[in-house]
Amino acid sequence: MPEKPIQGEKKVFVTGNEVVAWAALAAEAEIMYGYPITPQNEIMHYWTRTIPKFGRRFLQTEDELSAGFTTVGGVLAGRRAFTATAGPGNILMQEPLSMAEAMRVPIVAVVEQRGGPSTATVIYSQQEVTLTTLGGNGEGLRVVYSTATHQDLFDYTIKAFNTAWKYRFPTFVLADGYQAKMRESVVFYDPAERGIKMVPTEAYVGRPGMPGVDRPPMHMRNTYNMEEELYEVLQEYLADYAKAAPEIEEHEAFDTADADLVVISHGVVSRACKMAVQELRQQGYKVGYFRPITLRPMPEKALREVAATAKQFLVVESAQGQLARLLKEAMYGGTAEMLTLFKPGVGVTSEEVVARVKEIKG
Amino acid sequence: MVIGSRIVEAYVGEYASGKSEVAVNRALELAAAGRLVTLVDLDVVEPCYTLRPIKRELEQKGISVLAWETRELIGLGETGNILRAENRWALRRPGDIILDIGYGVEGAKTLALLEDADTDPDLQVYAVINIARPMTGSVADIVQYVLQLGGIDGLINNSHLGDDTDLAIVQEGSRVVSEAARELDIPVVAVTAVTELAELIGPVDSAGHPVRKLVRYMPRTLW
């Protein structure tokens, strides 16, 4: 039995991509499937560098379609499997991910957002929010965690495996090129020592016994003959998703109770927004901070509570309103004014957020 | 180790170990002592991200910097890069030469592309080690890593946690790196730390290794 990759706790200095590889090791992931694309390549690099010691596996496929489908295959065989991608790779992966939604296959995919549309930049954006939350030709029956820090990346990569296997919906860890390449300190830990129990995996196919005699046959479908058959299955899935959503939803907020204006952001941008809100508070501005951690399902109840008292929202993102669109849906009917600071494909600084709030507040 | 009148040092090591920071500071230290210094950026994978953004600033401080200019580059690292012609002949320049060689074990092979790299009598190759990097976190890992690099003349303890660096990580680094150096039978050339911490340690650490003060230039580059 190979030793545990992480024993006890250790503070390390790493890039975000390394964090993902080590978190997957700590989460007892057994195999990664992948195809190279910047800025996620080092997830594959560090996974393949470390796994010989820990008896895990890796398969590089010929493209992201195959990477997605082989991840589905790995999970069907009962393996705790994951993949990672970005940008155009994320687009290609939507087909296998739709299949995972259709079959309720708990795959985990890490997305390091790069600029878009198309190849755009290899560097950074928050432009894969729409694609990651609602991509595929279905109803977006998936979970998306948006991380802001390296500690988040470690914590939520581990959590993603448990969410996926508990609820049986494809689960994403959404980060970006800045986080992928950025270095900061983070505490690596063995989940077991923090009381985190990994949800056991099980094989979907090749189970013991004669199908139809010893056990019901395993009939996994992503194709239906009749509209009504599909409708019936989807009703069941949608009900499961609605039931699971309140258990999955997560957010972070402060200073919202008496705030006239609440700054809403996600991922790495929320770090700038947090600094800006703290600075503005010190200067006497009644501002609050809200960050959805799950972008799908959106923490609707918490958002509506904030919307009930705040007069204005300032949505800040490195995209042209992809988060704002999700927020509008979640808060439909609310009366708070929605103001924006959109910088598609580039980073946002705390100074820019402070300036925008002062521009609004005069 | 005998240092002649000419100092020629190559800094290699694990991705994000702090090679560039150590190399930049070393070049500036030598220049401040009135020496003629050339700093050479040999990161051929991501040449856009290392010394390029601070090239002008370093030149103003009196060192020659051999690195690409933005306008000379045709794409990011993944589109492929060529060794800059002037860098290939860097070892034939007069004065001290500090080579900053990016990208771990694969990157270290770039050194072989330099003219005279195999015959230069003064060339010393130093591996920069940060024990907070998981791949070089223990004595065994460091020994294995340095053997993979091959041809290393000495180790530098550059253990740190970015903005969260404290004396404890530097001292623990010294302990671990010293032990690895003993196993490898090579010297610990220096301990590097930001000025505030370096002053706490003094001119030499508890094991007698010289302490070099670091001014952080790299946060102003992309990575």
How distant, in Å, are the alpha carbons of A327, B84, B143, B183 from that of B146?
A: 51, 27, 5, 11
Other CB atoms within 10 A of residue A228 CB? 9
Query: Has residue A86 been placed in a domain?
Result: yes
Find the range with the poorest average confidence among A23-37, A175-189, A337-351, B47-61: B47-61
Whether B223 sits inside 8 A of A181 (CB atoms) is yes
Helices (H) and strands (E) in chain A, counts: 12, 14
What backbone phi and psi angles, to 5 degrees, belong to A270?
-65, -20
Which of B181, B54, B44 has the alpha carbon at shortest distance from B99?
Answer: B44
Tokens of A343: 């910088």
Query: Has residue A206 been placed in a domain?
Result: no
How distant, in Å, are the alpha carbons of A47, B63, B146 from that of B124?
A: 32, 20, 14
Q: What is the domain count for chain A?
A: 2
For tokens 């957010």, the residue is: A251
Q: Given CB atoms, is B162 within the 8 Å cutoff of chain A?
A: yes
Indicate the residue of B15, B132, B222 with minimum beta-carbon distance to A12: B132
A185: distance to nearest CA of chain B, Å? 6
Report d(CA B114, CA B92) in Å as an integer.
10
A186 and A264 belong to one structural domain: no
Residue numbers in A near B133 (CB within 8 A): 12-14
Q: pLDDT for A207-232, tens place per residue?
A: 999 999 999 998 899 999 999 999 99
Domain span including residue A292: 252-361
Give which of A13, A18, A271 to mutate to test B binding, by max B Cβ within 10 Å.
A13
B91: distance to nearest CA of chain A, Å? 32
Q: Which of A153, A174, A194 is the C-terminal boundary of a domain? A: A194
Whether B163 sits inside 8 A of A13 (CB atoms) is no
Q: What is the mean pLDDT of chain A?
A: 96
Mean pLDDT of A176-198: 96
Report d(CA B137, CA B195) in Å as an integer.
24
- 14-53 in B: which are within 8 Å (CB) of A? 15-16
B188: distance to nearest CA of chain A, Å? 22
Q: Which residue of A has its CA nearest to B49?
A: A181
A23 and A132 belong to one structural domain: yes
Q: pLDDT for B177-190, tens place per residue?
A: 999 999 999 999 99
B148: distance to nearest CA of chain A, Å? 13
A76 and A152 belong to one structural domain: yes
Peptide bond into B47 cis (omega under 30): no
pLDDT of residue B5: 87
Other CB atoms within 10 A of residue B3 CB? 10
Burial of B148 (C-beta count, 10 Å sphere; 0-12/13-18/19+): exposed
Query: Has residue A16 been placed in a domain?
Result: yes
What's A308's domain CATH number?
3.40.50.920
Query: Has residue A225 been placed in a domain?
Result: no
Residue numbers in B near A18 (CB within 8 A): 134
pLDDT bin (cut points 50, 70, 90) of residue B109 is confident
Q: Given CB atoms, is B130 within the 8 Å cutoff of chain A?
A: yes
Whether B134 sits inside 8 A of A185 (CB atoms) is no
What backbone phi and psi angles, to 5 degrees, belong to A116?
-145, 170
Q: Per-residue pLDDT for B219 more than 90? A: no
Burial of A8 (C-beta count, 10 Å sphere; 0-12/13-18/19+): exposed
Which of A13, A88, A345, A35 has the alpha carbon at shortest distance from A43?
Answer: A35
Indicate the residue of B78, B161, B223 with minimum beta-carbon distance to A13: B161
Mean pLDDT of B42-66: 80
Q: Which of A194, A222, A239 is the C-terminal boundary of a domain? A: A194
Give which of A3, A25, A112, A183 to mutate to test B binding, by max B Cβ within 10 Å.
A183
A58 and A165 belong to one structural domain: yes
pLDDT of residue B99: 95
pLDDT bin (cut points 50, 70, 90) of residue B75 is low
Indicate the residue of A13, A22, A122 with minimum beta-carbon distance to B132: A13
Residue numbers in B near A38 (CB within 8 A): 76, 78
Instruction: Indicate the SS3 state at residue A158.
Output: helix
pLDDT of residue B49: 56
Tokens of A243: 């039931």
pLDDT of residue A118: 95
A303 and A168 belong to one structural domain: no
Whether A14 sits inside 8 A of B76 (CB atoms) is no
The length of chain A, given as a count of residues: 362
Give which of B135, B136, B166 to mutate to test A binding, by max A Cβ within 10 Å.
B135
Residue numbers in A near B160 (CB within 8 A): 13
Whether B137 sits inside 8 A of A182 (CB atoms) is no
Q: Given CB atoms, is B186 within the 8 Å cutoff of chain A?
A: no
Q: Per-residue pLDDT for A277 more than 90? A: yes
Using left for φ > 0, alpha for ψ between -120 and 50, and beta otherwise, residue A305 falls in alpha
Q: Per-residue pLDDT for B102 more than 90? A: no
Q: Per-residue pLDDT for B78 more than 80? A: no
Q: Given CB atoms, is B160 within the 8 Å cutoff of chain A?
A: yes
Report d(CA B103, CA A18) in Å as an integer.
14
Query: Has residue A277 been placed in a domain?
Result: yes
What's A36's domain CATH number?
3.40.50.970
Report d(CA A40, CA A17) in Å as an integer.
6
pLDDT of residue B111: 87
The length of chain B, given as a count of residues: 223
Indicate the residue of A15, A22, A50 with minimum beta-carbon distance to B16: A15
pLDDT bin (cut points 50, 70, 90) of residue B88 is very high
pLDDT of residue B80: 60
Q: Which of A194, A211, A229 is the C-terminal boundary of a domain? A: A194
Indicate the residue of B76, B137, B161 with minimum beta-carbon distance to A122: B76
Tokens of A111: 């997305």
B193: distance to nearest CA of chain A, Å? 15
Query: Has residue A241 been placed in a domain?
Result: no
pLDDT of residue B2: 41
Q: pLDDT for A301-321, tens place per residue?
A: 999 999 999 999 999 999 999
Q: Given CB atoms, is B168 within the 8 Å cutoff of chain A?
A: no
* CATH number of the structural domain B8-220: 3.40.50.300
Q: pLDDT for A13-70, tens place per residue?
A: 999 999 999 999 999 999 999 999 999 999 999 999 999 999 999 999 999 999 999 9
Residue numbers in B near A49 (CB within 8 A): 135
Mean pLDDT of A154-171: 98
Q: Which residue of B has its CA nearest to A41?
A: B78
pLDDT bin (cut points 50, 70, 90) of residue B223 is very low
Q: Which residue of B has its CA nearest to A47?
A: B135
Report for B38-52, B60-74, B205-219: range of highest mean pLDDT: B205-219
Complex ipTM:
0.83
Q: Per-residue pLDDT for B77 more than 70? A: no
Residues 6+ apart with CB under 8 A from A90: A64, A111, A128, A131, A132, A135
Q: pLDDT for B120-166, tens place per residue?
A: 999 999 999 999 999 999 999 999 999 999 899 999 999 999 999 99
pLDDT of residue B73: 67
pLDDT bin (cut points 50, 70, 90) of residue B206 is confident
Q: Which residue of A has its CA nearest to B14?
A: A14
B134: distance to nearest CA of chain A, Å? 7
Whether A13 sits inside 8 A of B162 (CB atoms) is yes
